[in-house]
Amino acid sequence: SDGDGVLRNWWTPADKANFEALTTRLGAQYDQFEPLPGFHVQGGLTMGENIGDAAGTAVGLEAYHLSLNGQPAPVIDGVTGDQRFFYGWAQVWQSKYRDDALRNQIATDPHSPAEFRVVGPLRNVDAWYDAFDVQPGSKYYLAPADRVRIW
């Protein structure tokens, strides 16, 4: 809806085209994920949740940084603040699936399987690469030009 609460399309043609280009790129990333041999995540089916996970990760990291009030995050047991943030995101999505349940989720659920709710957003966040020194050749590495940030 617009600023007056009226339901209408308020995007400019350029905004819409940019959003569609970004979601196409993000969907293609998720389409490559293969939780089971021959079964790929459906980036189109899961797009809304994938965008939500990506935005939530980015906003959460920004909020964490703001909470530090300009102070450096403590390193605890050799783990930096950003590493702890990313570990926390990953722990939220720990799960184990039976193959039949995973096949069903891939076919019908608008949520990506848990592993890819971690990997999908984080590989698009520059700070993740810095936190863990992720380099070209790593399994989930994306070149900076290939990283997608929608919001």
Task: Classify the C-alpha dihedral 31-33-35-39 as positive or negative.
Answer: positive
What's the pTM value of the predicted model, to 2 decimals? 0.91
Buried b (16+ CB within 10 A) or exposed e, 33-68: bebeeebebbbebbbebbbebbeebbeebeebeeee
Quick check: is 58 in a domain?
A: yes
CATH number for 95: 3.40.390.10
Quick check: is 83 in a domain?
A: yes
Structurally, the chain folds into a number of domains equal to 1
Per residue of the chain (151 residues), what is the pLDDT tens digit?
778 888 988 899 999 999 999 999 999 999 999 999 999 999 999 999 999 999 999 999 999 999 999 999 999 999 999 999 999 999 999 999 999 999 999 999 999 999 999 999 999 999 999 999 999 999 999 999 999 999 8
Domain range holding 86? 13-146
Quick check: is 70 in a domain?
A: yes
